[in-house]
Structure 1
Amino acid sequence: MPAPNAITPEKLSRLVGTAHCPRILDLRDSPDRVIPGAVTGSPPGGPAAGSTVVVVDDDGGTGATAAAAVLRSDGVDAEILGGGHAAWLAARLPTVSPAHLPPRHADGRTWWVTRSRPKVDRIACPWLIRRFVDPDARFLFVPPPEVLAVAEREQAEPFDIADPRVFWSHRGDRCTFDIMVEAFGLADHAPLTRLAAIVRGADTDRLDIAPEAAGLLAISLGLSRSHGDDHAQLDAGMLVYDALYRWARDAHGERHDWSSHQPGRARVPA
């Protein structure tokens, strides 16, 4: 049974990658691996009153306990991760490498820039970043010829653009989403590898890779034509990828037809 104001690694792992995940604050100094979505250090202004936060240190000791207590005194619903990062690792739960994470701006957020009028990769990648890397990441959508100039002017990380100077782009038969899953150290997380195959198929016109790729392409093209504003389309697309991730994590083996969810019929006596 977890201690008061503590959450177990297993329970937190069910929230990671979903829209309902609490803010995760990692107190450790320059860690080489973090829990997906965790932010290291203190964000500017601190968590807002009424928000939900999980504080992580090495072992769930005094450092995390004290920080969570201070946050609760400010009206933040704060818990510690029971056993700290060591317990998370012992449970063999996924972690993220921040090695390729761009520097944070003064607002505490990473900034990213890509081509306007997104379809597949340019919605999938922001979803991955916000759910597993930086929940507050800012995304700029600009005309294709302006991506690199805006990246330099705003110190934003360019992605999904065909230029040899851009790290986050297609490589061979892999799309940008594939590159991000690998570079952030998430290639061993089975739900994301299932999702990556779907994104790759939809984004590279190889619909045979995964049966779901054709559906994702159809939805993506429909969203693009339903929204004139790229940020409104991103908001709508986040829901699509949230659903696909939950399918890939919890329901990929489930089947459905007319009879699969019908209540059983009572046997009529002869």
Structure 2
Amino acid sequence: MSSINSISVGKLVRLIGTPKCPALVDVRTDEDFALSPFLLPGSVRRPFGDVNGWAAALRGRSAVVICQKDLKLSHGVAALLRDGGIPAEVLEGGYLGWESAGLPRVPTGKLPPQNTQGRTLWVTRERPKIDRIACPWLIRRFIDPAALFMFVAPSEVSAVGEKFDAAPFDIEGVFWSHRGELCTFDVMIEEFGLATPPLLRLATIVRAADTARLDLAPEAPGLLAASLGLSRMYADDLEQLEAGLNLYDAFYRWCRDASAETHNWPTAKTKA
């Protein structure tokens, strides 16, 4: 149902995966969710009957509210958010409109458990280079914008994961890790249902840089150089991650919007 406070599927799909994406709030009923236990990339489920309980976490951001059919639940929740000073729109067509468009949906059965603040927790080896920055970028932009990451000694990753109920990734012997020639970034894209052309192109670049097969993509040496440079610039892994998010934002936008563009200055001029 189109309204002045709605956003189209086409416009939202361009925002998802970028730093400017609004908070995406899924307020479907438990019954509707059980019929299709998937989420729009980057969205989180929140109960429509407890807006006051979770709205404060959206302060400083705009929001898009998603219900099953773009009817009473999303419109009511969006109105309450706006009343609380949070700019909020509803998704035209709701979840079913997104689903019918054949766009990516994240299977919630693959998500790790959330902590008491509703955030997923992940753990991997310290001193990240490529895969261990690329995967957190993918998670923050397409899975859980509020995800937390722990970088610990390699020998302690599994134990920390068990003790703190965190999902280990990019180590041997766990679900979220390399499989054959695929790196962990590839695996996450596949398992989370995010195999769009831009992300698949980025995955090839990441795999090439991460597995020393630079011939797979001409952009891979650049990603490798930038990644190793960042690892030398930052002693703190979380500071490096924040800087790395910007790097992958740029690579993603190139894969999505700018791969056909060239740059040549000054241009060759024919002599008179």
Q: Is the 8 A contact 2:23 2:58 kept in 1?
A: no
Residue 176 of structure 2 aligns with which residue?
A: 168
Residue 206 of structure 1 aligns with which residue?
A: 213
Residue 12 of structure 1 aligns with which residue?
A: 12
Instruction: After TM superposition, give the deviation of residue 2 of structure 1 in Å.
Output: 4.2
SS in 1 for 2:41: coil
For residues 50 and 186 of structure 1, the distance between their equivalents in structure 2, rounded to whole angstroms, comes to 28
Residue 39 of structure 2 aligns with which residue?
A: 34
Instruction: After TM superposition, give the deviation of residue 49 of structure 1 in Å.
Output: 3.2
Task: Read off the aligned partner of 1:7 and give its amino acid letter.
Answer: I
1:185 counterpart (172, 188, 193) = 193
2:66 counterpart (44, 52, 56) = 56
Deviates more, 1:97-106 or 1:123-132: 97-106
| Residues matched between the structures, number | 261
Write 1 or 2 for the structure with the bigger share of helix. Answer: 2
Instruction: After TM superposition, give the deviation of residue 53 of structure 1 in Å.
Output: 0.6
SS in 1 for 2:223: helix
Instruction: After TM superposition, give the deviation of residue 257 of structure 1 in Å.
Output: 1.8
1:258 counterpart (250, 254, 265) = 265
1:115 counterpart (122, 125, 130) = 125
Q: Deviations over 1:43-69 (max 9, x none)?
A: 963333342110001111011001111
Instruction: After TM superposition, give the deviation of residue 41 of structure 1 in Å.
Output: 2.1
Instruction: After TM superposition, give the deviation of residue 183 of structure 1 in Å.
Output: 0.3
Q: Deviations over 1:85-120 (max 9, x none)?
A: 122223333222222100101011000000000000
Gapped regions of structure 1 (runs ≥ 5): none
For residues 144 and 73 of structure 2, the distance between their equivalents in structure 1, rounded to whole angstroms, comes to 23
For residues 209 and 180 of structure 1, the distance between their equivalents in structure 2, rounded to whole angstroms, comes to 19
Q: Deviations over 1:24-43 (max 9, x none)?
A: 00112344222110101249
- The TM-score with structure 2 as length reference comes to 0.91
- The TM-score with structure 1 as length reference comes to 0.92
Instruction: After TM superposition, give the deviation of residue 218 of structure 1 in Å.
Output: 0.5
SS in 1 for 2:215: coil
1:215 to 2:222 alignment: yes
Residue 227 of structure 1 aligns with which residue?
A: 234
For residues 228 and 49 of structure 1, the distance between their equivalents in structure 2, rounded to whole angstroms, comes to 31
Task: Read off the aligned partner of 2:133 and give its amino acid letter.
Answer: I
SS in 2 for 1:171: coil
Residue 124 of structure 1 aligns with which residue?
A: 134
Q: Is the 8 A contact 2:46 2:54 kept in 1?
A: no
Instruction: After TM superposition, give the deviation of residue 206 of structure 1 in Å.
Output: 0.2
% same residue:
54
Q: Is the 8 A contact 1:49 1:74 kept in 2?
A: no
Aligned Cα RMSD in Å?
Answer: 2.0
Task: Read off the aligned partner of 2:249 and give its amino acid letter.
Answer: D
Q: Is the 8 A contact 1:168 1:179 kept in 2?
A: yes
SS in 1 for 2:106: coil
1:240 counterpart (242, 247, 271) = 247
Gapped regions of structure 2 (runs ≥ 5): none
